[in-house]
Amino acid sequence: MSLRVGLISRTFFNMPLWAAFEQGFFVDAGLEIEAEILDSGTKVTEGLRNGSLNFAIAPPDGVLLDAAVGGSLRIIAGNTSKLSHFLITQPRFKKIEDLKGARIGCLSIDEGTTFVIQDMLSRHGLIFPDDYILDPVGGAPTRWKLFQEQKIDAGLQSIPLSYMAEDAGFSNLAATTDYIPDYQFTVVNADGEWAGSHESETVAFLAALLKATDWVYDNRAGAADIAAREMNISTDYAGRAWDDFTGRAIMPRDMSVSPAGLETVASIMARAGMLPADVAGRASSCVASRFLDQARKI
């Protein structure tokens, strides 16, 4: 049985998956895995809903929105429990207040760091949609291309693309962690009903990712080589990303979901009017932890 995994973009968050492919951990687990980068959180969520995807490494936002309409999507593991993004802008912008009227690139209107941008800018008196434009162009690599083409004024860029932007002369106005210290940025998602009826495959998939995450933590040079090839960046930038992701535990070694981080996501979505308060208050009910619990025993 071939299992399909949806990815948002070609970023360092995917390192456990890439390592599992390269080190043969999926093959060892008897799994045939296909991965696809969709450059859209909305498309990934829809793929889980319609069954064209079995798993996704994506923000939890789609699962929370699905819960609001009584859906069966669930978070089955963590991936990154802290933000690794910086507010990058064209060089002419020197402070956040300068972004009034700017075109800001984002993943999509209803998922991902879109809500983080709104929260950060609101603290500087800029309110969406009156004070700036949100342009749903796709993930961080797409935004990096549009920055260089001067088609967007600003956007959140994750490590190591943020390093590359600074070195190229773009402005770095703020670190997201200065505003939001706990934020469950990406998780492993699945349809809960499908995962329940394919428990052995789900547990095996998570066990392979756990093994790969361990490997990433233990192999700086090897992980940097993989990231450099997959992301088309230098091994220097990839190594710096490894330093941050492992040194600051941005990517938890045990693939745990941060309760505080998930609560932050839900509350920010609720303040943005995207999530009912009652759903935000029970965000933890969207986590199906039993699959990861079993995977840790393998």
Domain residue extents for the chain: 2-81+183-296, 85-178
- Residue percentage of the chain with pLDDT more than 70: 99
Full DSSP string of 101-113: T-EEEESBTTBTT
State whether residue 190 is helix, strand or coil.
Answer: strand
What is the reported pLDDT for 33?
98
DSSP characters over 117-161:
HHHHHHTTT--TTTS-EEEE--SHHHHHHHHHTT--SEEEEETTH
pLDDT band at 111 (very low <50, low <70, confident <90, very high): low
Place 217 in a pLDDT band, splitting at 50, 70 and 90. very high
| DSSP element (H, E) containing 58 | strand 55-58
Q: What is the pLDDT of residue 139?
A: 86
pLDDT of residue 62: 94
Alpha carbon 56 to chain centroid, angstroms? 10
**CA distance linking residue 169 with residue 148, whole number of Å:** 10
For residue range 36-80, list pLDDT tens digits in order.
Answer: 999 888 899 999 999 999 999 999 999 999 999 999 999 999 999
**89, 173 contact by CB (below 8 A):** yes
Q: Tell me the C-alpha distance between 162 and 237, whole Å.
A: 10
Summarize pLDDT for 169-215 with one digit per residue, the tens.
Answer: 999 999 999 999 999 999 999 999 999 999 999 999 999 999 999 99
Q: Name the strands in the sheet holding 2-7, side by side, starting at the edge strand that comes first in the sequence.
A: 32-37, 2-7, 55-58, 186-191, 73-80
| pTM, rounded to two decimals | 0.89
CATH topology of domain 85-178: D-Maltodextrin-Binding Protein; domain 2 (3.40.190)
The pLDDT tens digits of the residues spanning 220-254 come to 999 999 999 999 999 999 999 999 999 989 999 99
Mean pLDDT, the chain, as a whole number?
Answer: 95
Give the pLDDT band of residue 1 (cuts 50, 70, 90): confident
d(CA 134, CA 277): 24
Q: Give the list of residues 6+ apart from residue 140 with CB closer than 8 angstroms, or none.
A: 9, 11, 155, 156, 157, 158, 161
Give kind and range of the element (H or E) at residue 7.
strand 2-7
CATH no. of 2-81+183-296? 3.40.190.10
